[in-house]
Structure formats: C-alpha cells, structure tokens
Amino acid sequence: MTRREKQQLIDQGHLLPLMEEFYTIQGEGYHKGTAAYFVRIGGCDVGCHWCDVKESWLPELHPATETTKIVENAVKYSDIIVVTGGEPLTWDMGPLTEQLKAKGVQTHIETSGAYKLTGEWDWICLSPKKVKLPTEEIYDKAHELKCIIYNNDDFKFAEEQAEKVNKNCILYLQPEWSKREKMMPKIVDYVMANPKWKVSLQTHKYLNIP
C-alpha cells in the first residue's frame, strides 16, 4: 500500500490511529459504574494544558488500524463501546460506528465537539474546551454536557455552554484531577445553588482502574 493509498483510507475512516483499547468501568458522567469497552483514537489539536493523555495528541505515534479489526475485537468484550481520544471527531467515525451498529452494540463517544459530528451514536458526551469551541450542530445532539472545572472562570464558561445545548441534555461539572481538592468544595456549593447541574467525578481514578 502506498502512502497516498493509506492516507485515503485514513481520510475515509477505514483506518484509524488506534492508541489503546481496554475493557473497564466507565468512570465519569451519566454511565459511571457501567462496564464498557473503550477505544482510544489518537490525534488531537485542541491542546488542553491539563490533558492526562497528551501522548494521544500525535496520530502518527499510533498504528493506523483497520476499523474492521477494531470492531471485531471490541464486540468480544462488551455491548457498550466508548470511543474516546484524543479527539475522535478528527476522523470520519462513519465506517466505525456503522460496523459497530451492525453488530448490535451501543455506541458512545466522548468529544470536545471541535470537529464535524460523524458517525451514529447512542450517547454523546460533549466536553467543550475554551481553546477550540464545539461546532454548532453538536449542541442539539449532545446527551450530556461535561464541563471541566480547573479554575473559577470555568463556571462562567460552563453556563455559556449550558445555554447552547438542548433541553434534555444532562449537565455535569467535573473537577480537573490535579485541582480536585481545591475546586471540589466550590463545585459542591455551586451545584447546591444551581441544581440543574450534577457533580461528575473521575471515579475510575479513585478505583485505580483504566
């Protein structure tokens, strides 16, 4: 396969830079505590300074993997497949989710929403970032909005994002892990004063699992 042919398959979503895949417990948001198979796709230029998977940013560091192989392996473990990153919407998610849905599994995505929404999703977790805002189309389709609280200014940003999502979207505030001790009391007070929000924690880190 030539480099050009390989790039065409990547552009079409038939090859994806696969960073890692693992069966674990969903630690965050609405589905926390649920067993699921995670597929982490490399490639992200959103560049959050507090990102805990910076090794996912450069797609060329991760093998371009056939979506058919990703699907065949994933469905052995779970009927809930969570696609995360990196930023998975950097790539065309259509072929991956089409094959997953053909196998009868649920498809979930964790995304900043910074790129065009592709793929067929049963659950969309939108976690917007200030440095590269979501596209307008994803706000109406998001099932949950998860805003990361790193400092006090993030509460204002969270409210701005909450105004854009659909009325059925579940709203979460989640402390950035390194700031959790400082920000958690503020989040608790904020949610008690603004009960449209819920608290999300990275429970998988407390459980010491992936």
Numbered residues of the known binding site for S-adenosyl-L-methionine: 50-52, 86, 127-129
**Alpha helical stretches, state H, the chain:** 3-11, 67-74, 94-102, 136-139, 153-162, 180-193, 203-207
Question: Looking at this protein, which amino acid is placed at residue 75?
Answer: V
Alpha-carbon span 143 to 106, nearest angstrom: 14
CB 59 within 8 A of CB 19: no
3-state secondary structure of 33: coil
- Is-contact 134 165, C-beta < 8 A? no
Binding residues for substrate, as ranges, are 25-27, 40, 84, 210
Residues in binding site: 25-27, 40, 44, 48, 50-52, 84, 86, 127-129, 210
Instruction: Output the known binding site for [4Fe-4S] cluster.
Output: 44, 48, 51
Residues whose CB falls within 8 Å of the CB of residue 149, separated by 6 or more in sequence, listed in order:
155, 158, 173, 174, 175, 176, 179, 183, 186, 187
